[in-house]
Copies of this chain bind each other. A is one copy, B any other.
Amino acid sequence: MKKVRVAILGVTGAVGQEFLSLLDERKFPIAELKLLASGKSAGKKIKFQGKALAIEEARPDSFKGIELVLSSAGAIVSRELIPHAVKAGAVVVDNTSAFRMQPDVPLVIPEINPLEISKHKGIIANPNCSTIIMAVPLYPLHKAARLRRAVISTYQAASGAGMKAMLELEEQAREVLAGKKPSKKIFRHQIAFNLFSHDSKIRPDGFTEEEAKMIQETQKIFNAPELKLVPTTIRVPVLRAHSESIVAEFERPLSETEARKILEKAPGVKVIDRREDNYFPMPIEATGRDEVLVGRIRKDPTTENGLAFFVSGDQLRKGAALNAIQIAEILFAKR
């Protein structure tokens, strides 16, 4: 694999930092690494593989000579800057919602639809974190028995709202334990020792934007526009792994044993389902791991071909940075 000239857009964020860790950990072949962020961070230095690299302000002309942009700087910044990166000849793997639903932009989870990657016209979109963590275990079951409908309730970590949200959870926990009123800067509601409906806008149909993303993105990734999904997205006082309770209905029969066998062989999935000692997926164990953990696998006896299970996955890794880097690895392995 040839060495690649890489830029990270939004390097100071939680996902940006995870890009750096993963590029190193996975020995991504880097010819040049450009760190881009907002003007506030310009000039600050970040250590990477022993070298201190200066952060540059992300601007339309930041992408000359860059071949790959790993982007996670928010949808507004993405919409503004990414067209310039594409014009400069880079391929952009974008972690924001800016381009995901555009028909000519591949929306990719490498375990599911890797062939979409080669169809890109400069931008490949990384799905929403809740979508990825649900889709990775759901897809192999869908392939085996054809998913008809799923009811999903999420248990989403603070990291989904960025690094400052993670710090806010810790800071509020300290304040509550000290008997103080918790200070709120990022989240509208207290997150420590509390939970609340996902802090995205509510649409006229009563679903949150986060829920709408899970529905639409999964339909696009599975290439199954008829798929019926009913998510309820909830933010919980956990630092960086999302969990989801999933109750699925399939077209064809799917026994508990079959489902477990399929999941045990599925890429990106680790089955943790120890009934005898009550050991199932937990966010602290999903943290720092590449796989989505799956357990509580059981037949749903109340509907035809029903199956229930529970998953946990690292929101910053498979839910964001890891998925993007896996896409980049496929993209550049081909050359």
Q: Please report A residues at the B interface, Cβ cutoff 8 Å.
A: 149, 151, 153, 155, 169-170, 173-174, 177, 188-190, 193-197, 199, 201-202, 205-207, 228-230, 232, 234, 236-239, 243, 245, 247, 256, 275-278, 280, 282-284, 295-303, 306, 308, 310
Contact = CB atoms under 8 A, between A and B. Distances in A.
A182 to B, nearest CB: 10
Given A202-B278, A205-B299, A206-B296, 13 more contacts: A173-B177, A173-B193, A195-B283, A196-B282, A197-B295, A202-B276, A205-B301, A206-B298, A206-B299, A228-B303, A230-B306, A236-B237, A245-B245
Contacts of A297: 206
Contact of A302 (B228, B234, B277, B302): B228
A308 B234 CA distance: 14
B238 A195 contact: yes
- Residue of A151, A188, A283 most packed against chain B (CB within 10 A): A151
26 contacts: A149-B302, A149-B303, A153-B153, A155-B195, A169-B193, A173-B177, A188-B278, A193-B237, A193-B239, A193-B284, A194-B283, A194-B284, A195-B283, A197-B280, A202-B275, A202-B278, A205-B299, A206-B298, A229-B302, A230-B247, A230-B306, A230-B308, A232-B245, A232-B310, A234-B243, A237-B238
A243 to B, nearest CB: 6
Nearest to A241: B194
Nearest to A152: B153
A247 B151 contact: yes
Nearest to A238: B193
B197 A310 contact: yes
A170 B237 CA distance: 13
User: 9 closest A-B pairs (Cβ-Cβ)?
Assistant: A206-B298, A153-B153, A228-B302, A153-B245, A202-B275, A151-B151, A232-B245, A197-B280, A194-B284
Nearest to A204: B275
Contacts of A174: 177
A196 B280 contact: yes
A282 B182 CA distance: 15
A275 B201 CA distance: 8
A195 B302 contact: no
Given A173-B173, A283-B194, A205 B298 contact: yes
A296 B228 contact: no
Given A205-B299, A284-B193, A308 B236 contact: no
A58 to B, nearest CB: 30
Contacts of A155: 155, 195, 234, 236
A278 B203 CA distance: 11
Contact of A247 (B173, B206, B232): B232
Contacts of A277: 188
A60 to B, nearest CB: 34
A47 to B, nearest CB: 22
Nearest to A199: B278
A153 B243 CA distance: 12
Contact of A232 (B202, B234, B296): B296
A283 B229 CA distance: 26
Contacts of A238: 193-195, 237
